[in-house]
Structure 1
Amino acid sequence: MFGKKYSPVFICLAFILLAAVVIFPLKETTGKDNYYLTLMGDSSTWEIHNYQLKIMPERLIAGDGELHMKDTDEFQSEFFSFDVYAVINNEDRKIQGKSVSGHVNMADMTTGRVEGGTYFNNKGQPITLEDVNEIYAVVEWYDPSKEKQVSEKIVLYG
């Protein structure tokens, strides 16, 4: 008789206790901010697609994007450079760089990937997306038809 009368109360208390044990640790472990962005942008000559940026308190991963020269499938050059910058608290910080010298078709390229430690804001804490004012790429290449090095900026975020 005692068991039937109080069993719904015990079941409810057991459920509440189980929920508390499961939910409260999750709040502690998910308190960190992780940001996953897929970025794209273009300039008069270039377009970037699927550039991945993962900002986590302990590390930053950037890259795995595609860089295409507009209106052509083939462009030969002796020099090519690709750099990505994040403006964090109004300071430009290079997060990825890639360069190629020698005879290369640069019409379609991948950005490569870089993984490293985190960046810190002006309070000494790991950055969050709120600390990032802008993300942009700078593409430089030697243009044989102009006989000079050319540079273009591509805004990816901000």
Structure 2
Amino acid sequence: MSRKNKIVLSLIFSVLVILLSGCSGSEKLNHYYLLLAGESQTWNLSDYEVVLTPEDFKAGYGTLQMKNSNEYISDSFRFETHVVINGEDIIVHSSSFTGPEIDIAEETTGAMESGPYLDENGSPITLNEISNIYMMVEWWDVDKRESMNERIDLFTKSTKEQTFFN
């Protein structure tokens, strides 16, 4: 074998080793992007985003719209986004408004960003550890003169044997 062929063969082998060393298959990238929507008796929530990576947790940028109403005047409005992680219910995002005569018929959620949520071993959680994501909406009903509460379910972990979220 000529010296030139040995060099070419050595280069090809080196490139293959470098390429294949990155394909071990033992490491998973645990990056999840969820675009969620849901509704309750009174509310529609659309375009609510949840981003889960080993580096951070982000939630928000959704729109809450009151069904069948272009305007609804209230004195208070509040929402809380809950995530159930390994059986523990955690409020990850919330916002509230109070004051006289607030139109709450359509509200944007804003957004939040934090570091990752960690499991009992100190490792960042994955989507497999989340069983539910839901939003609680509370507002003052001026006609009924009472505080109203409704739940909007956004994500429930699949109990199917096969799913794309495993």
TM-score range, shorter chain: 0.7 to 0.9
2:29 is aligned with 1:2: no
2:126 is aligned with 1:135: no
Q: Which ranges of structure 2 fall in alignment gaps of 5 or more residues? A: 157-166
Distance 1:108 1:19, change over 3 A: farther
Match of residue 72 from structure 1: 69
2:93 is aligned with 1:96: yes
Correspondent of 2:41 among 30, 44, 56: 44
TM-score, normalising length: structure 2: 0.83
Distance 1:111 1:13, change over 3 A: same
Structure 1 moving runs of 4+ over 4 Å = 25-28
Match of residue 111 from structure 1: 109
Aligned residue identity for 1:106: I
The alignment partner of 1:130 has SS state of helix
Identity of aligned residues (%): 33
1:27 to partner: Cα distance:
6.0
Higher mean displacement: 10-19 or 30-39: 10-19
TM-score, normalising length: structure 1: 0.87
Structure-1 separation of matches of 2:67 and 2:89? 27
Q: Which ranges of structure 1 fall in alignment gaps of 5 or more residues? A: none
1:117 to partner: Cα distance:
1.3
Aligned residue identity for 1:154: I
Correspondent of 2:21 among 6, 21, 24: 24
1:2 to partner: Cα distance:
3.2
1:13 to partner: Cα distance:
4.4
Match of residue 54 from structure 1: 51
Match of residue 164 from structure 2: none
